[in-house]
């Protein structure tokens, strides 16, 4: 009898909420994956501010809801999950649950639905998989960033999306565990843009054009990892990923030093190569000239001043040397008795 009354009350509450939320906007968060393990948490944290009316968790393979929570009527669980599921309720708009004493049958697709006032319904799908199937996200980042610890960095969600964007969310992916956590959201409402932040490590900036950026200050090692920006449009959810790598300050300075050394060594090597190349070209040019002269001696260029210089030296030596040199002359000698005979 008690079970029938509970079913009646839950059915009545559900019908009242469906009538009340008729015509309201239903928004869906990006899907996430969780590795099957004891105490695993299925995240369902609504980024809106308002009043939580009801939370329901369903599983694709089950006809009845896995867990239902109502602020006034309490909780209700499917018999196979009774005593193993707990609503966390860390915030007023938190519908996350934890599952203990897990079995192989706990794998599958779970669907979370939050009914809120005045924004309407917010849903999210979570896939629970065995650790043997996959332990990490096989996602190739669209952008890679490197930053040193204690520095500041801004992660920008740049994406060419089709359709009108009404919500942008930034989440941090845990590649080791295989889960994800929403850091901040930016939602377009009738009265303007609404920001919601769930992590004190960053500050979200959102413009009226839904241009979103996350500013991180005093970066620590744990800030590194894979971030994903999700754009909820009227044509569906589109995503882009950013891989942030953090380096210790000393390692980064050493990297800069080695970079300068490599650049300097490269410049010196290029300079030496240019010098060797110019020297080889000059030597080859002179060899070609010498070879051309040996083949055609008549084409050898003569210096017109060479003979002039020789002539001047010879002329100068003739003028000055003639005065200092002895002159020899041959004369015929006639004996004296031969002269006397001739007189006789």
CA 268, 274, 279, 284 dihedral sign is: positive
Supply the pLDDT for residue 304.
54
Q: How many residues appear in the chain?
A: 344
Strand intervals (E) in 105-149: 108-117, 120-129, 143-148
The span from the CA of 1 to the CA of 288, in Å, is 114
Supply the pLDDT for residue 333.
57
CA neighbours closer than 13 Å in the CB half-sphere of residue 43: 20
Supply the pLDDT for residue 343.
53
Supply the pLDDT for residue 66.
94
Domains observed in the chain: 23-130 (2.60.40.10), 143-247 (2.60.40.10)
Supply the pLDDT for residue 218.
87
Supply the pLDDT for residue 58.
95
Supply the pLDDT for residue 130.
81
The span from the CA of 171 to the CA of 180, in Å, is 6
Closest CA to 31 of 111, 120, 94: 111
Strand partners, 187: 167, 194
Supply the pLDDT for residue 24.
47
Count of beta carbons in the 10 Å neighbourhood of residue 45: 21
The span from the CA of 118 to the CA of 25, in Å, is 10
DSSP line for 164-233 = -EEEEEEEEEETTTTEEEEEEEEEEETTEEEEEE--TTEEEEE-TT--EEEEE-S--GGG-EEEEEEEEE
For residue 239, how far is the Cα from the chain centroid?
Answer: 16
Supply the pLDDT for residue 294.
76
The span from the CA of 39 to the CA of 98, in Å, is 6
Q: Which residues of the chain have pLDDT under 70?
A: 1-26, 132-138, 160-161, 175-179, 197-201, 250-257, 296-344
């Amino acid at each position: 009898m008690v079970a029938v009354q509970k079913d009646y009350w839950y059915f009545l509450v559900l019908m009242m909420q469906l009538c009340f939320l008729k015509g309201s906007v239903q928004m869906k968060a990006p899907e996430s994956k969780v590795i099957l393990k004891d105490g695993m948490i299925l995240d369902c944290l609504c980024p809106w501010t308002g009043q939580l009316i009801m939370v329901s968790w369903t599983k694709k393979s089950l006809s009845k809801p896995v867990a239902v929570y109502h602020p006034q009527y309490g909780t209700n669980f499917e018999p196979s999950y009774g005593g193993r599921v707990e609503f966390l309720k860390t915030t007023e708009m938190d519908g996350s649950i934890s599952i203990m004493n897990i079995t192989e049958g706990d794998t599958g697709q779970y669907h979370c639905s939050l009914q809120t006032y005045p924004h309407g319904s917010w849903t999210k799908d979570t896939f629970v998989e065995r650790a043997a199937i996959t332990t990490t996200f096989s996602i190739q980042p669209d952008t890679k960033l490197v930053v040193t610890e204690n520095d500041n960095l801004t992660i920008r969600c740049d994406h060419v999306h089709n359709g009108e964007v009404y919500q942008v969310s930034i989440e941090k992916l845990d590649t080791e565990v295989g889960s994800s956590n929403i850091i901040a959201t930016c939602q377009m409402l009738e009265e303007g843009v609404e920001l919601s932040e769930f992590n004190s490590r960053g500050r979200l900036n959102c413009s009226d054009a839904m241009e979103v950026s996350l500013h991180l200050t005093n970066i620590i090692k744990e800030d590194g990892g894979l971030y994903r920006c999700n754009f909820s449009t009227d044509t569906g959810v589109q995503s882009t990923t950013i891989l942030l790598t953090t380096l210790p300050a000393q390692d980064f300075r050493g990297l800069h030093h080695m970079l300068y050394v490599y650049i300097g060594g490269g410049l010196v090597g290029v300079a030496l190569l240019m010098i060797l190349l110019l020297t080889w070209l000059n030597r080859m040019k002179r060899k070609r000239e010498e070879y051309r002269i040996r083949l055609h001696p008549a084409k050898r260029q003569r210096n017109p001043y060479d003979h002039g210089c020789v002539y001047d030296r010879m002329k100068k030596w003739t003028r000055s040397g003639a005065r200092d040199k002895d002159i020899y002359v041959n004369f015929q000698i006639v004996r004296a008795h031969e002269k006397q005979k001739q007189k006789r």
